[in-house]
Amino acid sequence: MGDVAVARRAALDALLAFEQGRPVDQALAGALDRHLPADPRDRALAVELAYGVIRRLRALDFALNAAATRPVDRMQRPVRAVLRLAAYQLLYLDRIPAHAAVHQAVAQARAAAGPAAAGFVNAVLRSLLRRRERLAWPDARRQPARHLAVVHSHPDWIVERWLQRLGFDETAALCEANNRRPELTLRVNRLRSDPAAAAEALQAAGVEAAPGRYLDGALRVRSQVAPDALPGYAEGAWTPQDEGSMLVALVLDPQPGEKVLDACAAPGTKTTHLAELMGDRGEILALDADEARLVRVAENVRRLRLASVRWRQGDARQAGSLVGAGWADRVLVDAPCTGLGTLARRPDLRWRRRPGDVAALAALQREILAGAAEAVRPGGVLVYSTCTTEPEENQEVVRSFLAEHPEFRTEPVTPWLPPALRPAVDAEGWVQLWPHRHGVDGFFIARMRREEVPAR
């Protein structure tokens, strides 16, 4: 193991920035660059610590409240972050001895807030060590929602939603899946490489690579370095992407020479997949309302050396007027959503989302889908997708759209799914993937076709 103290310092910086409102991925990237620019082992430990604390935040606070004389929410921010970091090591990791975790936490507290804080941290952690095997977690029978929310560290409102639809055992399994470290999955760019060659290059660099769960063009890798530091990334041989996300472009099924609109395109992961599937022959317009995020689209297009993609800033709700009514053979609406299907990969979302976000985003999604649909030519295809599990954002949005747009009819997504996922297609022909059932992010995908205009 490398320098644990330095890894803890980077994780602590990231947690403090997260408490001040920064997304954890951005906070951690900055902390790693400051403290750990090179050593992959230390960087991996810092990532494990920071993401682990955020995944287990509520359970950690519950345990600390049982061990401390002062509630967690009334502690100084640096002291609270130090305690959470140490509690995560004591409760969920076994690679660092307990005495070392306590010692390092005391040193961090002294550096951040002085001798009194160091003494307080030492006392709390010693108390936690005595109590950790007999913590009185909420009772599962009397308080099922609170039990799952505290033990598995999710907000009550999310757990209550899932309990109503899935029941106790499945909700527990879903929460557990959200707390696992997600696999790094790569989408091989067949215009530049193939899965065998990409896997060979990774393995030559000491990175274990295995075929995807479902898709021939996917690789699952075990790596302790950032994806952009792996061989093949800079050369455009592959792109990091979850297999559930890869299915979206496959369901749209773009063909060489067609005109395709990606209506909510940034950061361009699905846009570039569309171009690869088309053999980079045709015209793809990547539209996004956030001009700054379009920079990521441009970066991805250039890295993958794609010629068929252009991009522009614009609101998908006005897509018909921006690109021309009926301009596109195929339109993808990968709509902004609550992201509740990606909580393993983006653990901070569970703490940033609020109950009202579901309805607010569903309203936006309906507007985006209606606006983007104007760009679909008669006979063309429209795909709607999200990375959330909530029916208001998924099935209800599509049902509302179809009721208001009789010129569109639904088409089952079954032919474009791998056989192992076809049983997940519902009676309406749409698919909702679940992390605990399918081992991928929780994507929803629906496919529709605009009716041809009858000839006169």
302's CB contacts (< 8 A; 6+ apart) are none
In angstroms, rounded to a whole number, what is the distance separating the alpha carbons of residues 297 and 309? 9
Please state the φ and ψ torsions of residue 312, each to the nearest 5 degrees: -155, 155
224's CB contacts (< 8 A; 6+ apart) are 40, 41, 43, 44
In angstroms, rounded to a whole number, what is the distance separating the alpha carbons of residues 205 and 218? 18
CATH for the stretch 4-134: 1.10.940.10
The CATH architecture that domain 184-239 belongs to is 2-Layer Sandwich (3.30)
301 near 326, Cβ under 8 Å?
Answer: no
DSSP letter at 425 equals: B
337 is catalytic: no
**Per-residue pLDDT at 96:** 82
452 near 379, Cβ under 8 Å?
Answer: yes
Residue tagged active-site, from 175, 264, 337, 387: 387
Q: Which amino acid is at 363?
A: A
Rounded (10°) CA dihedral 231, 237, 240, 245: -160
How far apart, in Å, are the Cα atoms of 364 and each of 98, 221, 333, 443? 49, 36, 12, 18
311 near 287, Cβ under 8 Å?
Answer: yes
140's CB contacts (< 8 A; 6+ apart) are 147, 148, 168
- Got the DSSP string for 152-198? TT--HHHHHHHHHHHHHHHHHHHHHHHTSPPPEEEEE-TTT--HHHH
In 3D, which of 264, 324, 336, 319 has the Cα closest to residue 297?
264
121 near 105, Cβ under 8 Å?
Answer: yes
Quote the crossing angle between the two packed helices 98-113 and 77-92, to the nearest 10°.
Answer: 170
In 3D, which of 328, 320, 253 has the Cα closest to residue 284?
328
Token pair, residue 321, equals 């007027």
184 near 229, Cβ under 8 Å?
Answer: no
In angstroms, rounded to a whole number, what is the distance separating the alpha carbons of residues 51 and 273? 28
Query: Domain residue spans in the chain?
Result: 4-134, 144-178, 184-239, 243-450
In 3D, which of 418, 428, 416 has the Cα closest to residue 249?
416
Please state the φ and ψ torsions of residue 239, each to the nearest 5 degrees: -135, 135
In 3D, which of 436, 426, 352, 398 has the Cα closest to residue 162?
436
Helix (H) or strand (E) holding 272: helix 269-277
Residue 50, classified by CB atoms within 10 Å of its CB into exposed (0-12), middle (13-18) or buried (19+), is buried
Name the CA radius of gyration of the chain, rounded: 24
**Per-residue pLDDT at 43:** 81
Domain 243-450 CATH assignment equals 3.40.50.150:
yes
**Per-residue pLDDT at 454:** 64
Tens-digit pLDDT profile for the chain (456 aa)?
457 888 889 999 999 999 998 988 888 888 888 876 666 777 888 889 999 999 999 999 999 999 999 999 999 999 999 999 999 999 999 888 999 999 999 999 999 999 999 999 999 999 999 999 999 999 999 999 999 999 999 999 999 999 999 999 999 999 999 999 988 999 999 999 999 999 999 999 889 999 999 999 999 998 767 788 899 999 999 999 999 999 999 999 999 999 999 999 999 999 999 999 999 999 999 999 999 999 999 999 999 999 999 999 999 999 999 999 999 999 999 999 999 999 999 999 999 999 999 999 999 999 999 999 999 999 999 999 999 999 999 999 999 999 999 999 999 999 999 999 999 999 999 999 999 999 999 999 999 999 986 655
In angstroms, rounded to a whole number, what is the distance separating the alpha carbons of residues 348 and 333? 24
How many other C-beta atoms lie within 10 A of the C-beta of residue 161? Answer: 20
